[in-house]
Amino acid sequence: MSVLRLIASFSVLASVLVLGATAAAQPAGPEPPAVKLTPPKLLSEPRVDYPAGARGDARVVLTLVVDRTGAVTAAIASDVNEPFSSAASAAALEFLFEPALRDGVPVAAKIRMELVFREPPPPSVDPQDDEAEQPPEPEPEPEPAGPIEVVVRGERAEPSRSASLSRAEVRQIPGTFGDPFRAIEALPGVTPIVSGLPFFFIRGAPPGNVGYFLDGVRVPLLFHVGIGPSVVHPGLIERVDLYPGGYPARYGRFAGGIVAGETTEPTSRFKGEYNLRLFDAGAMVEVPFADGRGTALVGGRYSYTAFLLSLVSPGTLLEYWDYQARVTYDLTREDRVGVFAFGSYDFLGQVTETSTLTLFGTEFHRVDLRYDRRLHGKGNLRTALTIGLDKSSVQQDRSVVSRLLGGRTELTQRLDEQVSMRAGTDIQFDTYSVELGTNDLSPEATRASALFPSRTDMAFGVRGDVVVTIDDRLEVTPGVRADLYASDGASAVGVDPRVAGRLTVSERVAVLSTFGVAHQPPAFVVPVPGFQPGGLRGGLQRALQQSLGLELDLGDDTLLTTTVFQNAFFNMTDPLGASEPELDGCAPGTFPAESLAGDYVVSRDNPPDCAARFEPGTLGPDRSGGGGQAASSRGGRRAVDLFEVRTLGSAYGLEVFLKRKLTRKFGGFVSYTLSRSTRSYQRRQYVAAFDRTHVLNVAAAYDLGRNWRAGGRVMFYTGLPTPPNPFEPDKTRLPPFFRADARLEKRWQLSDTAWISAIAEWMNATLNKEPVQTECTLAGCEAETIGPVTIPSIGLEGGF
Amino acid sequence: MTPLCSRLIASVVVLTCLACGAQDPPKAPPCERECQDAVALRALREMAKLVYNLKLQGQPVGPQDATTPCPLGGQARVFGEAYSNALQGSTEVQLSYVFETCRYLSRDDEPGENYDMTLDGTLSQVGTLAVQPTASTALVMASESMSFAGSVYDPPLAFNELECAVSLGQSGNSLAGFICDREAGLEL
């Protein structure tokens, strides 16, 4: 049988316990003399032959004893998983290390190491997946019991990827409820709209310009009922990466940022996860079949909010569910076929005596058929066909239905030791059927109908980039993608050059830089299935994105990244951020100029918000009737107009991200963003409506022992811009906001692989209210707050 | 609703726009006496408002006396005293309106806001006119003898009342009172 050499990754998971240096692990007491410890460094190539007769993937955690010469004298697997355990142990005995040093003197050391067997290789694996592994790092203590953390497979992070969180880490971040996608709000460059609302501005780009992908398939709706849990079971997510700008060429059609989730690799063993919370329950199970050549996974979540709400609010109906299914089958060692399906359903309705009226309903379904072929160990080729259905419904059975048909090819090929190539094409057809009713001739309905016509959209893209490694210190990735868009008789082409670079200054220091152009058709405010403006009215949006960063490996699983960025946006659609800050109501001394003697006047060319009050000593108008008594609902009236407004924008700032793995005994991160985002419209430049100067997240998780784990998180950000008011002319911002989240988990290890946890989590445990705008009355102007938006949660999670 | 919220749920706004209307216009319900009286009161109030806004708004406070031709014939005179409170955004009035064959026409999609009316008589008006949303209108209006001639509603219904007593109160946009000793009211 052919032997696959596929150690794609290896990583030291836990401890280096330098023999004779155990004092470092002692509890509090007199501080021992400072001892400089240097962990062993791997000198040999960490390759292990894939065991003959084995199937699927496996990971083995070894405890190695490295003697003073650097030889491995013992290699013991922590779990029995044959034939992988034996293969790993045997191979590890051949590894050669540079011995550990104590104050410069070689000493014996004990380390833990994880070896991951992958067969066949993961599809669409980037070439750098095969890069040399990172050297082992010392760890103070073994990992706590629990699910093994998914390890990034020795992959050298792409320069445009500002942060990556594994599922195991996300579980430790309070306030995320274990949802990997929800954790995005804590990352640098991400500016929340409102605390708890999982839609974000990323480096100044609005939520509609942020693309969400799962295994390369775009996800049209990420969160249930807009603010609920994500539509994909967290157990299926291996990790989530954030690309805030200058992203790789494989990502396109979004001129903001990219949030990319990767699902877990198919596994050769029977495994599952389940959770039970106050409002929903979910489960996921994966089983191998055909002697491990195939795997089948099903998962989903169901909310029983309908039942709960019926107890407290019988007139309201709210329900949601989602599902995921995946089947893979290895035709040969080089060929795998698979299907991945996922979908989601949300419904908000009003229950009457005779029927249930739809207030808002949305659903989407995706089926991705895949064929993956490994190219002689030097690359991968994926060919995929995606079909989908999106549907959103509103009152009176108005609805938008979109049917999707798309195909794509993705090629990853190593050309030689220094050059790898990534290329691909894709084409997608979206057929929209919009049911508006034909008798509504109101201006708003007419305008909305023009924005969302029934039609078929087409997008075709070609892209490619090469990863060039020069002298093992400089890695440059130039690339380009071109997209052709057609919609409702209009067409446009976007050509997006990209380049990214990584300069390794030293073993622990690297300089990262990115530059990219990104195009995108007009976007809706937030992702809603089926709601894509049609006709390319106003042309494509365009963004120029660039960043320069410094990455510093502080050791001990701690990484510090600082990045400066600058984005420029052209022709952008940003209904959220493009509006100048405005008061709720008119400031004392002014009145709504849109109302004149009760008659309604709107002028877009000369928008008269509030005009000076009538001159003292003169008579004011009689404004009885016709809306003249309290005409202040300007925002809603302009919402439709805002979709047609195109603005210029810019954003620049500094990001700092200090992270120590949250799965460590003590882990956490500090994420800070200092930025400024502006918009220009009709020759006026102003601070974007959702600009926040400072955004700070500090999170920490600590293993209390006995399988208790506690975590806390503080989120702070600057208030939104506010227009000047006559009482406080110097005040330009609403008050800042902060909240504190908490999490406590108790885990029981039921067997080698089975576990169950009880988790209490509370987002905004401090019950802080958030200022959202300035409200003016005759008595003056003050901040108007909402909330407190707080989510306490108690639940059970388990797995096997 | 705050602008923030309106932006956040702009999608809902658009969806609502998609959802609104789209039904055949319902047939206008029958308009009986009470309905007809309400439309007549609307005509009286809006004609007074028209005269005020034509001649008095923007004028210096104090004694007032002005006459204006009505849009479709006749004339109207307004006199009395009016003062403003610029800080609060209101105008205090003590005025009389004298309509002389003053004709005014209103057409609207709402059946109850259609009329073609000619007024003869004097209407007194005392109270507060709101100028900005933070103030509220509070008025007392009365006429010992007001004549109405014309039509109200859509489809038009003849409305003719001679030397009719009118007494009205207005709070905000709510108008209520008596016309020809019959109770009537409406929302402006």
- With CB atoms and an 8 Å threshold, state whether B21 touches A445: yes
Of residues A799 and A624, the one with the higher pLDDT is A799
User: Considering CB atoms only, which of A436, A592, A616 is closest to B18?
Assistant: A436
Query: What pLDDT is attached to residue A791?
Result: 85
Taking contacts as CB-CB distances below 8 angstroms, the residues of chain A near B129 are 620-624
Average pLDDT, chain A: 79
User: Is the separation of the CB atoms in A35 and A25 below 8 Å?
Assistant: no
Lowest model confidence (mean pLDDT) among A192-201, A545-554, A593-602, B168-177: A593-602
- With CB atoms and an 8 Å threshold, state whether B3 touches A626: no
| Residue A105 in this model has a pLDDT that exceeds 80 | no
| Residue A783 in this model has a pLDDT that exceeds 90 | no
Query: What pLDDT is attached to residue A574?
Result: 84
| Residue A749 in this model has a pLDDT that exceeds 60 | yes
Q: Tokens standing for A196? A: 């708890």
Cα distance between residue A529 and residue A222, in whole Å: 10
User: Looking at the domain assignment, is residue B151 inside a domain?
Assistant: yes
Q: How many CB atoms lie within 10 A of CB A471?
A: 8
- With CB atoms and an 8 Å threshold, state whether B129 touches A773: no
pLDDT band at A787 (very low <50, low <70, confident <90, very high): confident
Helical H segments across A495-593, by residue range: none
Lowest model confidence (mean pLDDT) among A173-182, A339-348, A380-389, B131-140: B131-140
Taking contacts as CB-CB distances below 8 angstroms, the residues of chain B near A692 are none
Query: What pLDDT is attached to residue A583?
Result: 57
User: Looking at the domain assignment, is residue A270 inside a domain?
Assistant: yes
| Residue A685 in this model has a pLDDT that exceeds 80 | yes
Residue that is written with structure tokens 């709706």 in the block: A221
Which candidate, A392, A474, A470, places its Cα nearest to that of A435?
A: A392
| Residue A337 in this model has a pLDDT that exceeds 70 | yes
- With CB atoms and an 8 Å threshold, state whether A394 touches B18: yes
Taking CA–CA distances from A640, the nearest residue in chain B reads: B14
* Closest CA of chain A from B163, distance in Å: 26
User: Is the separation of the CB atoms in A741 and A790 below 8 Å?
Assistant: no
Q: Are residues A359 and A387 in the same domain?
A: yes
Distance of CA B20 to the CA centre of its chain: 28
Digitized pLDDT (tens) for each residue of chain B, 188 residues in all:
344 444 444 443 333 333 333 344 556 678 999 999 999 999 999 999 999 989 998 899 999 999 999 989 999 999 999 998 866 778 899 999 999 999 999 888 889 999 999 999 999 999 998 876 657 889 999 999 999 999 999 999 999 999 999 999 998 888 999 999 999 999 88
* Closest CA of chain A from B25, distance in Å: 9
Strand partners, A435: A399
Q: Are residues A623 and A570 in the same domain?
A: no
A619 touches chain B (CB under 8 A): yes
Query: What pLDDT is attached to residue A289?
Result: 92
Sequence-separated (6 or more) residues with CB below 8 Å from residue A228: A303, A320
Q: Are residues A255 and A369 in the same domain?
A: yes
Segments forming the whole domain that contains residue A620: 590-631
- With CB atoms and an 8 Å threshold, state whether A619 touches B86: no
- With CB atoms and an 8 Å threshold, state whether B2 touches A777: no
User: Looking at the domain assignment, is residue A2 inside a domain?
Assistant: no
A599 touches chain B (CB under 8 A): no
Taking contacts as CB-CB distances below 8 angstroms, the residues of chain B near A533 are none
Chain A 103-132, residues with CB within 8 Å of chain B CB atoms: none
User: Looking at the domain assignment, is residue B1 inside a domain?
Assistant: no
User: Considering CB atoms only, which of B19, B60, B173 is closest to A625?
Assistant: B173
Q: Are residues A572 and A599 in the same domain?
A: no
User: Looking at the domain assignment, is residue A637 inside a domain?
Assistant: no
Q: Are residues A556 and A659 in the same domain?
A: yes
A436 touches chain B (CB under 8 A): yes
pLDDT band at A582 (very low <50, low <70, confident <90, very high): low
Sign of CA dihedral A761, A766, A767, A772: negative
Query: What pLDDT is attached to residue A295?
Result: 93
User: Considering CB atoms only, which of B19, B90, B134 is closest to A394?
Assistant: B19
3-state secondary structure (DSSP) of residue A636: helix
Taking contacts as CB-CB distances below 8 angstroms, the residues of chain B near A392 are 15
Q: Are residues A84 and A217 in the same domain?
A: no
User: Considering CB atoms only, which of A445, A618, A689 is closest to B58?
Assistant: A618
- With CB atoms and an 8 Å threshold, state whether B13 touches A636: yes
Of A105, A130, A155, the one marking the end of a domain is A130
Residue that is written with structure tokens 């009355």 in the block: A777
Q: Are residues A601 and A621 in the same domain?
A: yes
| Residue A700, CA atoms < 13 Å, CB-side half-sphere | 6
Residue that is written with structure tokens 């701690």 in the block: A558
Tell me how many domains chain B contains.
1
User: What is the per-residue pLDDT across A28-53, written as a single tens digit (0 to 9) for each?
Assistant: 333 334 456 677 878 776 667 777 66
Sequence-separated (6 or more) residues with CB below 8 Å from residue A325: A296, A297, A298, A299, A339, A340, A341, A342
User: Per-residue pLDDT averaged across A543-570, rounded?
Assistant: 93
* CA angle centred on A731, ends A730 and A733, rounded to 5°: 145
* Closest CA of chain B from A780, distance in Å: 12
User: Looking at the domain assignment, is residue B67 inside a domain?
Assistant: yes
ipTM rounded to 2 decimals: 0.82
Query: What pLDDT is attached to residue A134?
Result: 41
Which candidate, B103, B119, B101, B123, places its Cα nearest to that of B170?
A: B123
Taking contacts as CB-CB distances below 8 angstroms, the residues of chain A near B53 are 597, 621-622
pLDDT band at A106 (very low <50, low <70, confident <90, very high): confident
Q: Are residues A177 and A202 in the same domain?
A: yes
Cα distance between residue A423 and residue A411, in whole Å: 5
Query: What pLDDT is attached to residue A487?
Result: 92
Selected for mutation to probe chain A from B2, B18, B126 (highest A CB count within 10 Å) is B18
- With CB atoms and an 8 Å threshold, state whether A439 touches B22: yes
Q: Provide DSSP, A718-754.
A: PPPB---BTTBTT--BPPPEEEEEEEEEEEEE-SSS-
User: Per-residue pLDDT averaged across A107-124, rounded?
Assistant: 67
User: What is the per-residue pLDDT across A193-215, written as a single tens digit (0 to 9) for each?
Assistant: 888 887 889 999 999 999 999 88
Enclosing H/E stretch for B103? strand B90-106
User: Considering CB atoms only, which of A360, A449, A623 is closest to B12?
Assistant: A360
User: Considering CB atoms only, which of A622, A625, A636 is closest to B1?
Assistant: A636
User: Is the separation of the CB atoms in A639 and B14 below 8 Å?
Assistant: yes
User: What is the per-residue pLDDT across A711-740, written as a single tens digit (0 to 9) for each?
Assistant: 999 999 999 988 766 667 778 889 999 999
Sequence-separated (6 or more) residues with CB below 8 Å from residue A657: A162, A163, A187, A188, A559, A560, A561, A562, A563, A669, A670, A671, A672
Query: What pLDDT is attached to residue B132?
Result: 64
Query: What pLDDT is attached to residue A719?
Result: 92
A613 touches chain B (CB under 8 A): yes
User: Looking at the domain assignment, is residue B3 inside a domain?
Assistant: no
Q: Tokens standing for A187? A: 């990352």
- With CB atoms and an 8 Å threshold, state whether A398 touches B15: yes
User: Is the separation of the CB atoms in A563 and A161 below 8 Å?
Assistant: no
Query: What pLDDT is attached to residue A120?
Result: 47
* Closest CA of chain B from A672, distance in Å: 25
Sequence-separated (6 or more) residues with CB below 8 Å from residue A152: A9, A164, A166, A239
Cα distance between residue A114 and residue A12, in whole Å: 6
Query: What pLDDT is attached to residue A580?
Result: 65
Q: Tokens standing for A749? A: 């290890």
- With CB atoms and an 8 Å threshold, state whether B57 touches A778: no
How does strand A558-572 pair with strand A541-555? Answer: antiparallel
Selected for mutation to probe chain B from A599, A622, A777 (highest B CB count within 10 Å) is A622
| Residue A637 in this model has a pLDDT that exceeds 50 | no
User: Considering CB atoms only, which of B3, B15, B22 is closest to A582?
Assistant: B3
Q: Are residues A650 and A617 in the same domain?
A: no
* Closest CA of chain A from B11, distance in Å: 7
User: Considering CB atoms only, which of A531, A576, A622 is closest to B7?
Assistant: A576
- With CB atoms and an 8 Å threshold, state whether A624 touches B4: no
Segments forming the whole domain that contains residue B105: 32-187
User: Looking at the domain assignment, is residue B12 inside a domain?
Assistant: no
Q: Are residues A81 and A228 in the same domain?
A: no
Of residues B38 and A439, the one with the higher pLDDT is B38
Cα distance between residue A577 and residue A639, in whole Å: 12
How does strand A257-263 pair with strand A210-214? Answer: parallel
Tell me how many domains chain A contains.
3
Sign of CA dihedral A667, A228, A299, A330: negative
CATH number at residue A302: 2.40.170.20
- With CB atoms and an 8 Å threshold, state whether B7 touches A778: no
Q: How many CB atoms lie within 10 A of CB A44?
A: 11
Spatial strand order in the sheet of A105-107: A37-38, A100-102, A105-107
Instruction: Indicate the angle between helix axes A634-642 and A443-451, nearest 10 degrees.
Output: 30
User: Looking at the domain assignment, is residue A208 inside a domain?
Assistant: yes
Q: Are residues A626 and A649 in the same domain?
A: no
| Residue A136 in this model has a pLDDT that exceeds 50 | no
- With CB atoms and an 8 Å threshold, state whether B57 touches A619: yes
Diameter of chain A by CA atoms? 100
User: Considering CB atoms only, which of A576, A617, A640 is closest to B17?
Assistant: A640
Say which amino acid occupies B52: Y
Burial pattern B62-74, b for ≥16 Cβ within 10 A else e, equals eebeeebebeeeb
Cα distance between residue B188 and residue B180, in whole Å: 20
* Closest CA of chain B from A434, distance in Å: 9
Which candidate, B124, B172, B157, B123, places its Cα nearest to that of B38?
A: B157
Selected for mutation to probe chain B from A619, A642, A778 (highest B CB count within 10 Å) is A619
- With CB atoms and an 8 Å threshold, state whether B21 touches A591: no
* Closest CA of chain B from A774, distance in Å: 9
Q: Are residues A190 and A289 in the same domain?
A: yes
* Closest CA of chain B from A624, distance in Å: 6
Taking CA–CA distances from B135, the nearest residue in chain A reads: A629
Query: What pLDDT is attached to residue B43?
Result: 95
User: What is the per-residue pLDDT across A52-104, written as a single tens digit (0 to 9) for each?
Assistant: 666 667 777 788 888 877 788 778 776 667 777 778 877 887 787 878 877 67
User: Considering CB atoms only, which of A445, A447, A576 is closest to B20?
Assistant: A445
Query: What pLDDT is attached to residue A182?
Result: 83
